[in-house]
Chain A
Amino acid sequence: MLADLPLLSLVIWTPIIGGLLVLFFSKDEQAPLARMIALAVSVLTFLLTIPLWTGFDNSTYQMQFVEYVSWIPAFNINYHLGIDGISMPLILLTAFSTVLVVIAGWEVIKYKPAQYMAAFLIMDGLMIGVFCALDSILFYVLWEAMLIPMFLIIGIWGGERRVYATIKFFLYTFLGSVFMLVALIYMYIQSGSFGILDMQNMPLGMTEQILIFLAFLIAFAVKVPMWPVHTWLPDAHVEAPTGGSVILAAIMLKMGTYGFVRFSLPITPDASMKLDWLMITLSLIAVVYIAFVALVQKDMKKLIAYSSIAHMGFVTLGFFIIFAILENTGSTQGMAMAIEGALVQMISHGFISGAMFLCVGVMYDRMHSRQIADYGGVANTMPIFAAFMVLFAMANAGLPGTSGFVGEFMVILAAFKANFWIAFLAATTLIFGAAYTLWMVKRVLFGEVANDNVAALKDVNKREFFVLGVLAVAVLALGLWPAPLLDVMHATVDHLIEQVMHSKL
């Protein structure tokens, strides 16, 4: 019976309509009701995503749960949805993160709580839609529409420099995506279809491919973000409320890398091969240079933001090292490992970065400071919290047994098949990652109680314990037993590699 329902549409529209519903309870005295509805909607959405996983057929690369309705016939634009092994886990991650964000903002958000919840719910639907869209204009519409709630979230509930941060965020991401729009229109003119799958199959000359690749690169690189267009992220993260940071880090950044596997690699395989040196260089700069930048941060959120950039560098490295692997070994096995490692890293980073920002949020709610210098010895007053934070920090540093290890290890291993020095530079992240994360943990959690404010701290309450606990389970589960996630991806990744190796010239 479940199979007959338009599940993807339900998963997209339930939170959007629920979010609009919450807006009707925006009076201050209705806040508890608004929160309850928001929680119910987000949980319902998450429950609706579970059949996507249980009903998913691991053996095929074909799109599943497909929905196809003509939307704008004049331009041959269709409401075309479907998921494969790459997008399905991201949808679950999105719905899961939204539930946590709703809970995390429960009593913390006092100013316009209904609007806050509504913004996150609407964004939930839009983000899931991005991962489901198989029509490029539908994808673009959702991709851009998502900016509006995020713009408001940072601007209304953010910190002191929120206006600067949110306008910068909006302009940067908008700047990136309009070039993608021109590329999409160009391909529509050539092929007569806005369908992503049609675009993947259309022949394209080398010059065209390179221009289209660069247009996509601007769009996705801003979102990932890759050096040198990453500067919006630290600002946005620092000023965003905790929930905003979590969604930004856990989901929004993944959209950029998702774009690379959904658009760049299959649509412009020859250009990807030709320009892989560029992508590898940018990725390594993110991994190495940004790690150094993270090391010197005084603000916890900024530090985690930079660490996100470094970790996302691994994802792009995994996607674009495949050409070098192929050249070196001639086998596709290493390629699959690199891409799967990168995909696992995306999911894992979703959990870990979300958890890290929630940890900072827990402290910020008590102390109203993000400065590392204002803390010290927090473990003495908040032992349970400290245990969680140490776990997440270890995962962020890539400790075996946590999810952070799996993806990074696979990418490094695959990179060795391509080039020793690339792998070597990438592997330095295990050292630098540990350095900046653990040094921060040391300064914040351990040592003597630094001041009276820290001495007065209360440990996590039940709500916070639940949120962090769920994430801890996820981080450990994925770290100890990543096989179910990898199984989902195999068929799709193999197909992607076929597409990449098939020249379009």
Chain B
Amino acid sequence: MMTPSSFEMPNLLPAVPEIFVLTATCVILLADLYVRDDKKVITYLMSLATLVGAAVLTITLHTGETVLTFSGSFVSDPMGDVLKVFVYLVTAAVFVYSRNYLIARNLFKGEFFTLGLFGVLGMMVLISAQNMLTLYLGLELLSLCMYAMVALHRDSINATEAAMKYFVLGALASGMLLYGMSLIYGITGSLDLAEINAAIKSLDDSKMMVASLGMVLVIVGMAFKLGAVPFHMWLPDVYHGAPTAITLYISAAPKIAAFAMVMRLLVEGLGDMHVQWQEILIIMAVLSMAVGNIVAIAQANIKRMLAYSTISHVGFLLLGILAGTAEGYSSAMFYAITYALMAAGGFGMILLLSRSGFEADRLEDFKGLSERSPWFAFMMLILMFSMAGVPPTVGFYAKLAVLQSVVGVGLTWLAVLGVIFSIIGVFYYLRVIKLMYFDKPVDTSPLETTADMRIILSANALGILYLGLMPGSLLALCVAAIG
């Protein structure tokens, strides 16, 4: 028992990036008060600088070793560092893509950026959590920011409705998660993930029962956050209702954090119950791939279509995790990172086409894009083929890695189901390409964009192509990060 006199300063070094983001965001929050509405670009640049600074700190402090701090409730490890760097990267891209859209809708305000950065902080805490409380803290910080961001456009009925739905269902999911955690805490007597894992090994059957119930509730909570079937109902409505810039934010980086949450809770905390959670994950993965891919075909709104596509990608991500091997985890990590890059590019394209008073969120709005802008039509083509998993794009390797880990544990039939659903999925991605290339444009006005957005979005799509030609380094990074 620690007495106040024996209080030791915890090792702050592993948490320096978090402390930096927190401080910088508070500074931005205050500074923004003094920035005139027409000078909000200052806030924007400060936010980008915060992300760059955090990336620099994370990379320079990266040791390749696992360091625990704050009484073992916070960890800095290779997996966390890699994931965090991609969170910064994707979020920075999100900020750049969102600028014009927000300006055109009079939403280019400090709130978007501060909430976004607090969300990033939540993701970082979530990624580094080594204790169920830290994990819950990070998750709630992220979730609260996202609820508020969805409602940011307060005059829009759709956005308000989406925010309500998101909040109610999200709170319900958090409740489930918390209840599951409390059961596990009750039975193991610890909140620390490593201790939980050790304690579960020695549980007798009756206690195991309670632990299993806790595990099920934890999985339900996580499935809500991930958007896995049958807990996916909120996802299409929120993606559709939220302003596209917010949809972009929600769809990209938080998926990386969600992967980390699953890794920390299921693998590090409940790794010993792998046999039990594997079955649940198999069912959720198959249902997610089925529902996501099939229902996406029926969508006329591209945001909804991409929402269902997200659900199907979550199914694939779960495939990697349920394999339960190091290869499986690293393949799921690769999948999460590449998916976040693809989602950022995909929603970025919608933002590129939108302008004041025009959302560009219907599929028809992509008609004849190859006439209007051959370059960006080509970029969208890369993104769509990557989401469909067609080589030579990185989406193929993500699927390859996951399938390989699934076959590696003898679940070949699951791999076959996975590829069958991905064939179904190809259809709706092809339809977008069909609209862009084979149809004549309805709307021939030139694209209204800025140079920075063009450059970053092109880099995003070309990066996906490059990773498709040279996936070795990122794959090796993921393999090394899982260890």
Contacts and interface: CB of A to CB of B under 8 A. Distances in A.
B247 to A, nearest CB: 27
A141 B396 contact: yes
A285 interface: no
A178 B419 contact: yes
Interface in A130-186: 137, 140-142, 144-145, 147-148, 151-152, 155-156, 162-163, 166-167, 170-171, 174-175, 178-179, 181-182, 185-186
Contact of B427 (A142, A171, A188): A171
Contacts of A5: none
Contacts of B397: 72
A207 B444 CA distance: 58
Nearest to B420: A178
Interface of A: 26, 71-75, 115, 137, 140-142, 144-145, 147-148, 151-152, 155-156, 162-163, 166-167, 170-171, 174-175, 178-179, 181-182, 185-186, 188-189
A75 B438 CA distance: 38
Contact of B390 (A75, A152, A174, A189): A174
Given A72-B472, A144-B396, A155-B434, A174 B426 contact: yes
Contacts of B434: 155, 163, 166-167
Given A75-B404, A141-B391, A144-B391, 10 more contacts: A72-B397, A73-B476, A148-B385, A148-B390, A155-B438, A162-B438, A166-B438, A167-B431, A175-B423, A189-B404
B422 interface: yes
B386 to A, nearest CB: 11
B412 interface: yes
B472 A155 contact: no
Interface string B449-483: 00000000000000000000001100110010000
29 contacts: A74-B476, A115-B374, A137-B400, A140-B391, A141-B391, A141-B396, A144-B396, A145-B390, A145-B392, A148-B385, A151-B433, A167-B427, A167-B430, A170-B430, A171-B423, A171-B427, A171-B430, A174-B423, A178-B419, A178-B420, A178-B423, A179-B416, A181-B400, A182-B403, A182-B407, A185-B400, A189-B404, A189-B407, A189-B408
Contacts of A156: 437-438
Nearest to B427: A171
B408 A181 contact: no
Contacts of B416: 179, 182
Q: Give the one of A74, A140, A145, A151 with max B CB within 10 A.
A: A74
Contacts of A181: 400, 403, 419
Interface of B: 374, 381, 385, 390-392, 396-397, 400-401, 403-404, 407-408, 412, 415-416, 419-420, 422-423, 426-427, 430-431, 433-434, 437-438, 471-472, 475-476, 479
Given A178-B419, A189-B407, A145 B391 contact: yes
Contacts of A186: 407, 412
A226 B403 CA distance: 28
Contacts of A115: 374
Contacts of A155: 433-434, 437-438
Given A72-B472, A75-B475, A185 B403 contact: yes
A151 B475 contact: no
Nearest to B412: A186
Contacts, number: 87
Contacts of B437: 152, 155-156
Q: Give the one of B391, B423, B471 with max A CB within 10 A.
A: B391
Contacts of B374: 26, 115
A75 B423 contact: no
Contacts of B427: 167, 171
Nearest to B407: A185
Contact of A163 (B385, B396, B426, B438): B438
Contacts of B430: 151, 167, 170-171
A73 B472 contact: yes
A181 B423 CA distance: 13
A151 B430 CA distance: 9
A74 B479 contact: yes
Question: Which 8 residue pairs spanning A and B have beta carbons closest together?
Answer: A178-B419, A141-B391, A74-B475, A72-B472, A155-B438, A185-B407, A144-B391, A145-B392
Contacts of A148: 381, 385, 390
Contacts of A167: 427, 430-431, 434
Contacts of A189: 404, 407-408
Contacts of A188: 404
B437 to A, nearest CB: 6
A72 B475 contact: yes
B407 to A, nearest CB: 5
Contacts of B476: 73-74
Nearest to A146: B391
Contacts of A152: 437
Contacts of A166: 434, 438
A171 B423 CA distance: 7
A74 to B, nearest CB: 4
Nearest to B409: A189
A446 B408 CA distance: 63
Contact of A182 (B391, B419, B472): B419
A365 to B, nearest CB: 22
Q: Give the one of A72, A152, A155 with max B CB within 10 A.
A: A72
A188 B437 CA distance: 38
Contacts of B423: 171, 174-175, 178
A261 B401 CA distance: 27
Nearest to B416: A182
Contact of A141 (B392, B401, B419): B392
A182 B396 contact: no
A84 to B, nearest CB: 24
Contacts of B396: 141, 144
